[in-house]
Amino acid sequence: MTALLSLQHVTKVFGGLTAVDNVDLEIAERSITSLIGPNGAGKTTLFNCLTGLHRPEVGEILFDGSSLIGLRPDEITDRGVARTYQNIRLFGRMTALENVLVGQHLRLHASHWSAVLRTRRQQEEEHAARESARALLRFVGLHGREEVVSTNLPYGDQRLLEVARALGSQPRLLLLDEPAAGMNPSETDRMMELVHRLRDEKGITIFLIEHDMKVVMSISESVAVLDYGEKIAEGTPEEVRADARVVEAYLGPEVAVQETAGPASG
């Protein structure tokens, strides 16, 4: 398998603090990779660099062979990278369906004039967009919730809706920032199953940040560990769990011993 995403020497500095320090990383097409590490290790900052919210001072980010550096966030989304957020950031006053429709924004091309005149082509496109948005909501398990205003959705559903919105842009790489945060075990299981289906049925490459070690260990094919912005370990879940540096910096002896410890922090 070829690497879909490849990071070389990526470094991001915030006023003297090196948030991401010379990180190299390769993510294979159709793989599921987890990024773990203590709070403030630079995980979300790395995601922000990938999606164009931050521009790394040093380094190269290649997606499918071409550089993402210097592109605007919407251009990066256009290339096929979509994401969700650690603290859910839906368009709160829009319905679930509208959220997904915004996700599809890039894939719609009817001109604004045609929207005013309601040309047949524009109508057809809108219709198709709504249909596929419904299909996406069904896919993540939000069937029947299309017209619910997103702030009124239960917490777990909001996380699912974020995934559906990200899918709207037809991504090849999906970045999930703590998808299971704040979920109870059964919701977490649902999310893990969804992640698998995304990869298996839609062929999307998954790159996720997660604190829940149970999720990380059971879902990922490879794991990368960040600490103080540096990558301190990388490998299969088993390798990482056995890594002395990881245990010291992050897991603590207890977790490493109990194989699948109880839910870690929410």
Name residues contacting another protein, limited to 174-213 (CB under 8 A): 181-188, 211, 213
Task: Determine the distance from the C-alpha atom of residue 108 to the mean position of all C-alpha atoms in its chain, rounded to a whole number.
Answer: 22
| Residue closer to another protein (CB basis): 26 or 86 | 86
User: Is position 137 an interface residue for another protein (rule: CB under 8 A)?
Assistant: no
Task: Compute the chain's Rg from CA coordinates.
Answer: 19
Q: Which residues, numbered 242-261, are part of the site for another protein (CB under 8 A)?
A: 249-252, 254-255, 261
Q: Which residues in 69-88 contact another protein (CB under 8 A)?
A: 70-78, 82-83, 85, 87
DSSP state of 248: I
Q: Which helix (H) or strand (E) holds 134?
A: helix 120-140
Beta strands in 117-168 (DSSP E): none
Q: Which residues contact 64 (CB under 8 A, 6 or more apart)?
A: 4, 79, 80, 172
Inter-residue contact 27 to 231 (CB < 8 Å)? no
Q: Which of 25, 31, 96, 156 binds another protein (CB under 8 A)?
A: 156
Q: How far is the CB of 52 from another protein (least distance, A)?
A: 5
199/214 with CB nearer another protein = 214
155 binds another protein (CB under 8 A): yes
Of 27 and 153, the one with the shorter C-beta distance to another protein is: 153
Cα–Cα distance between 167 and 161 in angstroms, integer?
10
In the list 105, 127, 138, 143, the residue contacting another protein (rule: CB under 8 A) is 105
Chain centroid to CA 101: 18
Q: Which residues pair with 32 in a beta bridge?
A: 206
Distance in angstroms (rounded) separating the CA atoms of residues 27 and 203 = 14
Q: How far is the CB of 201 from another protein (least distance, A)?
A: 22
Q: Which of 38, 59, 132, 134 binds another protein (CB under 8 A)?
A: 38
CB of 2 or CB of 113, closer to another protein? 113
In the list 9, 24, 67, 93, the residue contacting another protein (rule: CB under 8 A) is 93
Q: Determine if 229 is a binding residue for another protein (CB under 8 A).
A: no
User: Which residue of 145, 199, 214, 231 would you call a contact of another protein, by CB under 8 A?
Assistant: 214
- C-alpha to C-alpha distance for 195 and 176, rounded to whole angstroms: 9
Query: Quick check: 65 binds another protein (CB under 8 A)?
Result: no
Member of 22, 110, 130, 235 binding another protein (CB under 8 A): 110
What distances in angstroms separate CA 111 from CA 75, 125, 128, one per listed residue?
19, 11, 16
State which residue, 24 or 75, has the beta carbon closest to another protein. 75
Told to check if 51 binds another protein by CB under 8 A, we report: yes
Residue with structure tokens 């993402």? 68
Q: How many residues does the chain have?
A: 266
